[in-house]
Structure 1
Amino acid sequence: MEKEISRPDPDDLLAEIKAGQRGRLTVFLGAAAGVGKTYAMLEAAHERLADGIDVVIGWVETHGRPETEALVKGLPAIPPKQLVYRGKIFQEMDLDALLKRRPQLVLVDELAHTNIPGSRHSRRYQDVEELLAAGINVYTTLNIQHLESLNDIVAQITGVRVRETVPDRLLEAADQIQLIDVPPEELIERLKEGKVYVPHQAERALQKFFRPGNINALRELALRYTARRVEGQLDHYMRLHGIVGPWPAGERVMACISPSPFSAQVIRTAKRMAAGLKAEWLAVYVETPEGLPTDESRRDQLARNLHLAEELGAEVITLTGNDVAQELLALACRKNITQIVIGKPLHPRWQELWQGSLVDKIVRGSQGISVHIIPGKPRPREGHRAPKWRYRPQASSWPYAGMLIAVLLVTVLNKALQPVFDLTNIALLYLLPVLFSAARWGRKPSILAAVLGVLAFDFFFVPPVLSFTIFDLRYLLSFGVFLVVAVITSTMATRLKAQAENARRRETRTAALYALSRKIAAETDIDGILKTVVQAVAETINGEAVIFMPDATGKLAARATAPSPPEKWLDSNEYAVAGWVFANGQLAGRGTDTLAGAEGLYLPLKAEEKSLGVLGVKVSQPERHLAPEQRRLLEAFASLAALAILRVQLAAEAQQARCLAASEKLRTALFNSISHDLRTPLASITAAVTSLLEGGEVYQTEARQALLQTIKEGAARMNRLVGNLLNMARLESGMLQLNQEWCDVEDIIGVVLRQMRETLQNRPLKVEIPSGIPLVKMDFSLIEQVLVNLLDNAVKYSPPGSEIAITVRQEEQELQVAIADRGTGIPPGDLERVFDKFYRLHSPRHVSGTGLGLSICKGIIDAHGGKIWAAPRAGGGSVFTFSLPLNEPPPTRVPSARGGVEGDR
């Protein structure tokens, strides 16, 4: 394959254009403090200043080093701004002044610094991002331990957790990274000389952080990160300029694998080569329509080869194409591969003459790439003896019998049509068995059909008939062309069938994932999700599936199985393997190198680095290894199941949190009500009783009567409050039982008005009850409580001396009772909310109560099958109306036993 210049990548060109609109970021990266990052940055700034660039110091920390302070002189600087925090004055970079000044280049030291509270941004790298967005170039410094992705690694190496980190995206978007590196001995000497920290801090740093092993490890991290950065820039440059490559700037090894057992040797050789070169390596398998492994043993061997490559640390890539060599070379150019490792072909030489040599194609097209051909013989995988017996599908003779029948039928048809058809049409009809055999049974039966068709055509139709002798040599050329056409046609038909089968398998896997995701998205409980998952898995692998989850004691138990109940293979050993997978979060079981003696394959259900359960599968044939695509599909199923389980668990936790919040709100409201609404009447009762006890005969009759009246009102108020709380508790618990009987609403209103005579003093009261109002089946005491609460609410939210009206009317099959006041009214948005628990309207007057009265009214009316609502009153105020159903015909009305009420008062 010759090098060529292809079209540049449009995405890279667009990214390059967008990058030109922003400022350029240069990062001076070091392994640790004291390597000279700030010094190198200042030196580079002096060079830019000499070139005529407008350079300004935004922030530089010299740490009192004379060499650094000397370089600061001569560079323009923006004075830092002063911030007061906790009574102390701190200095920070003045971002606004820099944006106003708009220099071409700004120096910003210590990129990972945390700004003092009160700054625009909490972190200095955010200040740098704003400068870049404004089109200002930035020079900055950073130590490798402050990189976010390396935080855990640095903590493991040094034993020190770095708190100030910078997101990787900032360095990934940097235009240039300059590595500043010094040997560990020189850095330690700088520390001892006090050039990095003051003597006391330097001594402590040498004992903990700046040990030679730590410094070397940090240097390696910095070098590796910079190398990856350079490699990424090279790939970007090649894509941007359309360079096909490869460029041997760095070593990359690619192993070409196949279903052959010999591929294991190729994989191990590639691994050793990559380890010697300290290079990345890939394992690539190209799936072609002709090369699809058809029998079980080849599929198992391919699965083992791919798994071996994964175990040895390769990046496993599976490609689909028609030409293996072309696909391999194209991938090698895209990935910048420098070394290709491929096995020496084991098939006979004549087969290469017929099909072509893969190795020869790769060698001829691998300009700039070294090709290593590994000789050897296929042998069993180390550590695994070939089984004495393996399930092998028995070859069927039906395809060949069917092909023979098809040729015979076409021969009979041609004999019948011979009087009207010439030999050309008769020969074309023999292509029908070829095409049918190719589409139905594959290449071998179709080629045999072509040979038999030529023989039948010669024997039955070419003179001399009933003889294979050919007098006209032109027929030999016709036979040859027919055979070539038949072979090509059968090959194309077989390839199309294989491609269609491959597409069908891929579509089946995609459809299975889509169907499972839809089903588990509709489930709201864990048991439903688990049942759906195991059924989908069992149908996909044509076997059995089980999901283990920990019970209340933390012990794994089978929560869902398919088919159900589980078969006998789930014994104590299988539970032990599942327990190991749950504890370690790794794949184990049959077909793996961990606990391979198990009957099933077990996959962890992990989400957010937390093990939620284990998915176990057992294929129908014990000797069968799962194909790579099946294993990837199972891993996708496991991921979907884990996410669904986590979703349900988080939803339950959220519901529990909401319940706790509601309980806390209820507790707070009750506490506030008890602390205020109970304490207020208790205080008035206590004061009145104390006055009576201590006053003796001092108080006159009227004063004593007033104090006794205060006691009575306080006690009544407490009684109503406690009654409301008890009624709400009965409503919430569902323990409210109705004692319904036929009652006269006029009697209930009369009882309520007598009960609230003192509360309604000095209030114009208007009661309208038309004659002929029927009896209503209801709980007398509960409806009485409703009327008391509504009247009490009207008194609280209307000015003293204003009118309160009670109206009763019959509307079709319901009786309506309305209580109207002349208060401030209810906002339209609160007409429904006034019936919520603890909801109280804002009022300019001080209104006592818990906010339970209207909620209790709604609960009682709902229990009666009625409705209650609020509406604004014409002329100002509010109207509360409740209705009671008149479903049954009342008995004959009897005179009121409790006394009537006056019309106007």
Structure 2
Amino acid sequence: MMVQTFLVIDDDAGDRKLLRRLISQRQEPSETQEAPTGAEAMNRNLAEPDMIFLDYMLPDTSGVELITELAQRWPRAAICMMTGQGDEEIAKESIRRGAIDYLPKRNLSPAALDRVIKTGCKLARMRWQLDEKREDLSMFSEVLVHDLKAPIRSMRFLVEKLQEDIAGGAAQEINRDVELIGKSADRLHDLVNSLAGHIHYDSETDEEVVHAAVLVEEACQVLLAEIERTEARITCDADGMVRCRTPQIVQLLQNLVGNAIKYAGQSPPRINVRCREGPEGLHFEVADQGVGVPPEHRETIFLPFKRLPVSASIPGTGLGLATCRKIVDRHGGRIWCDPEVSEGTIIHFTLPHRPQSLDRAG
């Protein structure tokens, strides 16, 4: 059974002792941390609490004023405001600032405390999930624009080739162009469906077992225009099968290979995609000989809107790698930039073997 962690912020030692005793009487295992002032609570290296019991009158600040700081430090924690005397205005202001509940100390009892903990933790968890979803949705439009441009460019490139081949009467090339346009349209359709899954909190996209080489091939198909324009050479040494949401993994590889092309420097891009079975599942590497990632940026490049200093002259939103991390997280894997590489860049990611359905999107 999971241990619940509580934080009691109250300058009255007797009140802290009472809360500690009532919490210990609950059936669920728990740990209680204490702080007599707001400053001590904020400055100490405390474990993230599931719930915070916050006294309204503290020596250094008002409990209401502290709510915002506590919520920023521990966004998943439920905050319950406590006062020596009941006051409806304090309750309203506390809830407005972000507290989950309000409890006068005179009403403290095992039953009241148990109710506050159960409902408060549940509400706080739901609110945190909704905040995460809201942030996810705020990124959605940027991701949509970013990731739909590549297949659209690919289709435009293929249409131009088709027009040239029709004018030249190259029947064999015309058939090939039409087939590739159809594949690009299919990839665009799959990507739209996959991105739409970000919108719906309870939606799922189908998973399937697919060969790693097929995933790489489809990602390169989306990037045909960029590959042709830059004379990129992409080699693939991929083996292994994985259960995944195919459009999302194609999108992931599309972003990684597209980044390798974009940051190739002055020379034509030379990119190698490798995949092998590893201890964590299927292990992908996307290696290039481009400008590289400075060591101090190898962790932050996966954060939204974080771009390298060299990126100032290169178009982009700073969302590509953040999207990659989200996709890998949703598949239960991990992604990282190789810390040992001194020239170029190697991005690794793993996709664990999942015999059953993946978690719901979001």
Q: TM-score, normalised by structure 2?
A: 0.50
Of 233, 247, 266, the residue aligned with 1:781 is 247
Paired residues for 1:649-728 under 5 Å: 701=167
Residue 204 of structure 2 aligns with which residue? Answer: 737
Q: Does 2:228 align with 1:756?
A: no
Matched residue type, 1:562: R
| 1:322-341 to 2 correspondences below 5 Å | none
Q: Secondary structure at the match of 1:753?
A: helix
Distance 1:514 1:873 in 2: 50
Q: Which has the higher contact order (CA 8 A, sep 6+)?
A: 2
C-alpha distance in structure 1 between counterparts of 2:291 and 2:353, whole Å = 33
Q: Which amino acid counterpart does residue 211 of structure 2 have in structure 1? A: D
Find out whether 1:523 has 2:53 as its counterpart.
Answer: yes
1-structure distance, mates of 2:319, 2:277 = 28
Counterpart code for 1:743: V
What is aligned with 2:123? none
Give the one of 91, 95, 104 matched to 1:560: 104
**Cα deviation per residue 1:132-185 (whole Å; 9 max; x = unaligned)?**
xxxxxxxxxxxxxxxxxxxxxxxxxxxxxxxxxxxxxxxxxxxxxxxxxxxxxx
Q: Determine if contact 1:752/1:788 at 8 Å carries over to the other structure.
A: yes
Q: Between Structure 1 and Structure 2, whose CA radius of gyration is higher?
A: 1
Deviations, residues 799-844 of structure 1 (Å, cap 9, x unaligned): 3513111111121341111111111111112112111112222326
3-state SS in 2 of match to 1:801: coil
1:529 to 1:753, Cα distance in 2 relative to 1, 3 A: closer
The Cα of 1:846 is off from its aligned counterpart by: 3.4
CA offset at residue 865 of structure 1? 0.7
* Alignment-derived partner of residue 271 in structure 2: 804
Task: Decide whether the 8 Å contact of 1:823 with 1:876 is kept in 2.
Answer: yes
Structure 1 residues 864 and 552: alpha-carbon distance in aligned structure 2, compared to 1, 3 A threshold:
same
Match of 1:866 among 303, 310, 333: 333
* Shift in CA distance, 730/832, structure 1 to aligned 2, threshold 3 Å: farther
- Deviation at residue 511 of structure 1 after TM alignment: 5.3
Give deviations 1:55-104, integer Å, cap 9, x for gaps: xxxxxxxxxxxxxxxxxxxxxxxxxxxxxxxxxxxxxxxxxxxxxxxxxx
In 2 relative to 1, CA 872–733 (structure 1 residues): closer, same or farther, beyond 3 Å? Answer: farther
Structure 1 letter corresponding to 2:237: E
Does the 8 A contact of 1:548 with 1:559 survive in 2? Answer: no
Q: Paired residue for 1:828?
A: 295
Match for residue 765 of structure 1 among 225, 229, 234: 234
Aligned pairs (5 A) from 1:872-887: 874=341, 876-886=343-353
Residues of 1 paired with 2:12 and 2:243: CA distance? 63
Residue of structure 2 equivalent to 1:793: 259
Q: How does 1:439-450 map to 2 (within 5 A)?
A: none
Q: Distance between the aligned counterparts of 2:271 and 2:79, measured in 1?
A: 58
Shift in CA distance, 873/514, structure 1 to aligned 2, threshold 3 Å: closer
Give CA-to-partner distance per residue, 1:462-509, whole Å, 9 cap, x none: xxxxxxxxxxxxxxxxxxxxxxxxxxxxxxxxxxxxxxxxxxxxxxx9
Deviation at 1:513? 8.3
Verify the 8 A CA contact 2:263 2:290 in the aligned structure 1. yes
Look up the equivalent residue of 2:88 and give its one-letter code: M
User: Aligned residue for 2:324?
Assistant: 857
Q: Take 2:37 and 2:340, find their aligned partners in 1: how far apart are those partners? A: 52
**Once the two structures are superposed, what CA deviation does each residue of 1:748-787 show, in whole Å capped at 9, x if it has no partner?**
2223333433322322222223xxx442211122111111
- Gaps spanning 5+ residues in structure 2: where? 1-10, 19-33, 39-51, 55-66, 68-77, 94-101, 110-130, 169-176, 357-362
> Secondary structure of the residue that 1:851 maps to in structure 2?
coil
In structure 2, relative to structure 1, the CA distance for the partners of 1:527 and 1:840 (3 Å cut) is: closer
Q: Structure 1 residue 815 and structure 2 residue 345: aligned?
A: no
Q: Match for residue 106 of structure 1?
A: none
| Native 8 Å contact 1:806 1:818 kept in 2 | yes
Q: Distance in 1 between matches of 2:310 and 2:13?
A: 61
Counterpart secondary structure, 1:823 = coil
Amino acid at match of 1:778: C
Task: Kindly report which structure 2 residues correspond to 1:308-319, keeping only aligned pairs within 5 A, or say none.
Answer: none
Name stretches of at least 5 consecutive residues in structure 1 with no aligned partner.
1-508, 535-545, 566-658, 693-699, 703-708, 890-905
TM-score normalised according to structure 1 size: 0.22
Quote how far apart the aligned CAs of 1:849 are: 2.6
What is the number of equivalent residue pairs in this alignment?
Answer: 236
Q: Distance in 1 between matches of 2:221 and 2:88?
A: 65
Distance 1:547 1:868, change over 3 A: same
**In the aligned structure 2, how far is the partner of 1:734 from the partner of 1:866?**
21
CA contact (8 A) 1:826 1:872 kept: no
User: Residues 261-280 of structure 1 correspond to what in structure 2 (within 5 A)?
Assistant: none
CA distance in 1, matches of 2:342, 2:245: 34
**What is the RMSD of the two structures over their aligned residues, measured on CA atoms?**
5.0
Determine the structure 1 residue equivalent to 2:8.
Answer: none
Matches within 5 A, 1:362-401: none
Percent of pairs with identical residues: 20
**CA offset digits 1:305-331 (Å, max 9, x no partner):** xxxxxxxxxxxxxxxxxxxxxxxxxxx
1:548 aligns with 2:14: no
What SS class does the counterpart of residue 837 from structure 1 fall into? coil
Change beyond 3 A, Cα 1:563–1:513? closer
Distance 1:785 1:561, change over 3 A: same
- How far apart, CA to CA, are the structure 2 residues paired with 1:849 and 1:776? 30
Q: 3-state SS of the aligned residue for 1:759?
A: helix
